[in-house]
Amino acid sequence: MQAEEKLTYETWPASPERSTLEAKNKFLGFWLFLGGETVLFASLFATYLALKDKVPDSSHHLAKDIFELPLTLTATMLLLTSSLTSVYAMYHMKNFAFKKMMVWLSITVLLGLGFLGLEIYEFNHYVHEFHHTFTSSAFASAFYSLVGFHGAHVTFGLGWILALMFRNYKRGLNLYNAPKFYVASLYWHFIDVVWVFIFTVVYLMGMVG
């Protein structure tokens, strides 16, 4: 099958994300890339756990003092939901329903923006309320690096999905851009999974003490 071909609902393949050689390569390559990303985050998690609550003196706040459940739980819900909406988008992509896919992707982006907004608010809160800044202690450096790195991934993911949406707004789906949408959604799921770990390891375990 050729990537540039104009297709209809009837000729649209069952797995558009893997129906050309280029798409198969992209699909596999991206999975491998996520494997590398997993090791990257694992290293950051290990660093965080080693430096958790490691502060120069008792004037600094510890994890149990600063984290609040309502805020982070809301953020978690936003991101989890956005993962679900991106699944819907991919469902419509596979059914050659371009408009519906775009709608669900827009919702995904909005939820992602919401998450990002909460994270910015959260960081700002820590800095002003607790003087918990990037340079204040090893614990703070490790916290902002891990969570901030995830935040940077969210930002990049949003930019990526938006770029794809704008680029393909007029021309609809084909076998050239379907794999692009697909890997972008894979990336989004990955970000979501990482967040589940951050929520558990950083926030929940942090609040327990």
Partner 1 sequence: MSTYAQKKGFGATIWDYLTTVDHKKIAILYLMAGGLFFIMGGLEAVFIRIQLAVPNNDFVSAGAFNEIITMHGTTMIFLAAMPLLFAFMNAVMPLQIGARDVAFPFVNALGFWLFFFGGIFLNLSWFLGGAPDAGWTSYASLAVHSKGHGIDFYVLGLQISGLGTLIGGINFLVTIINMRAPGMTYMRMPLFTWTTFVASAMILFAFPPLTVGLTLMMFDRLFGANFFEVAMGGNTIIWEHLFWIFGHPEVYILILPAFGIFSEIFSTFSRKRLFGYSSMVFATVLIGFLGFMVWAHHMFTTGLGPVANAIFAVATMAIGVPTGIKIFNWLFTMWGGSVKFTTPMYYAFAFIPSFVMGGVTGVMVATAAADYQYHDTYFVVAHFHYVIVGGVVLALLAGTHYWWPKMFGTMLNETLGKITFWLFFIGFHLTFFIQHFLGLWGMPRRVFTYLPGQGLNAGNLISSIGAAFMSVAVLILLFNIIMTQVKNVKVGNDPWEDGRTLEWSIPSPPPFYNFKQLPLVRGLDAYWLEKMAGKKGLTPAEPIGDIHMPNSSFIPFMISLGLFIAAFGAMYHVDDKPWALPVLIIGLVITFGSMLVRSVKDDHGFHIHKEELVQEEKGAKA
**Which residues of this chain interact with partner 1, rule CB under 8 A?**
3-4, 21, 24-25, 28-29, 32-33, 35-37, 39-40, 43-44, 46-47, 50-51, 54-56, 134-142, 145, 160, 163-164, 166-167, 176, 180
Nearer to partner 1, 51 or 90 (CB): 51
Query: Residue 147 CB, nearest distance to partner 1 (Å)?
Result: 14
Query: Residue 209 CB, nearest distance to partner 1 (Å)?
Result: 17
Query: Residue 189 CB, nearest distance to partner 1 (Å)?
Result: 19
Nearer to partner 1, 20 or 85 (CB): 20
Nearer to partner 1, 50 or 77 (CB): 50
Query: Residue 19 CB, nearest distance to partner 1 (Å)?
Result: 13
Nearer to partner 1, 42 or 77 (CB): 42
Nearer to partner 1, 9 or 166 (CB): 166
Query: Residue 133 CB, nearest distance to partner 1 (Å)?
Result: 9
Distance from C-alpha of 47 to C-alpha of 134, rounded to nearest angstrom:
15
- Give the dihedral sign, CA 72/78/84/90: negative
